[in-house]
Amino acid sequence: MTNNDVLRRIRYAFDFRDTKLISIFALGGLNVELDQVKRWLKKDDDEQMLALEDVELASFLNGYIVEKRGPRKDGEKVEAETTLTKNLILMKLKIALSLQTDDIVSMLAKAGFTVGQSELTAFFRKPTHKNYRHCKAQFLRNFIQAIQDQHRPFAPAPRQDKKVDKKQDTYNKKTHNNSSEHKSSSQSYAKSRDKKPVPKEVYVNPKAKKPEAKQTERKVLKLKPEDIYKQ
């Protein structure tokens, strides 16, 4: 995690404009130009990207402390460190936002990162202390993410810079189209299956002769009286 990453993430978390960044740098005792700030914020793979030095990021963080908490009571300006560690970045953000240890533990827990109070306190000790612990980039990244979740919870997700595989993208599109066609054909089949059959019209020849009606009367054999009593 570079100094440029820290500046970009802090700017995004608080939704700072470039002009706001310039004023914060000035509060930290460093006068910068707009073009310089834009180059610091460019992506790492951009040829115009300018690396942010430790003393420059320290000036920004010192200026942010003044922005949030005001200048020191004695009026003395804090000199920016020429060598900036992740522990110092963590400490300066904690001071600027007036965070207590419990606040940081709670913020990280909401972001899905668990840390104990003793482990967190070790980050803020002096390097000469026996319980001092070095802050790694992963912890600092999660801490800034927790800050973003608290101050800008509904911010849109930043665009991913991953390169898209053209073959995979083409395959995904074909798969999506095939699935859509299959779905539409299935729906059409289901609709046609649910329709009631319509009886076909039977052709009747108007010149055809009507068939004669069959005799339905039953023939009864009649006998004469003399035939009945005939011996």
For the stretch 32-43, pLDDT in tens is 999 999 999 999
pLDDT tens digits for range 109-156: 988 888 888 999 999 999 999 999 999 999 999 999 999 998 887 665
pLDDT in the model for residue 161: 46
Model pLDDT for residues 187-217, shown as the tens digit of each residue: 655 555 555 555 555 555 666 666 665 555 5
Angle between helix 3-14 and helix 54-69 axes, rounded to 10 deg: 30
What is the average pLDDT across 89-106?
A: 94
Q: Is the pLDDT of residue 24 over 90?
A: yes
pLDDT of residue 85: 94
CB atoms within 10 A of CB 123: 21
- Work out the pLDDT band at 61, boundaries 50, 70, 90: very high
pLDDT computed for residue 55 by the predictor: 96
For residue 111, what pLDDT is reported?
A: 85
* CA atoms of 68 and 24, how far apart (whole Å): 10
What's the Rg (C-alpha) of the chain? Answer: 43
Residue 49, class by beta-carbon neighbours within 10 Å (0-12 exposed, 13-18 middle, 19+ buried)?
A: middle
Which of 30, 100, 19 lies closest to 58, judged by CA? Answer: 30
Per-residue pLDDT at 164:
45
**Percent of the chain residues past pLDDT 90, beyond the cut:** 55
What type of residue sits at position 113?
F
Task: Read off φ and ψ for residue 163, nearest 5 degrees.
Answer: -75, 140
User: How many angstroms separate the first and last alpha carbons of the chain?
Assistant: 135
Q: Which amino acid appears at position 133 of this protein?
A: R
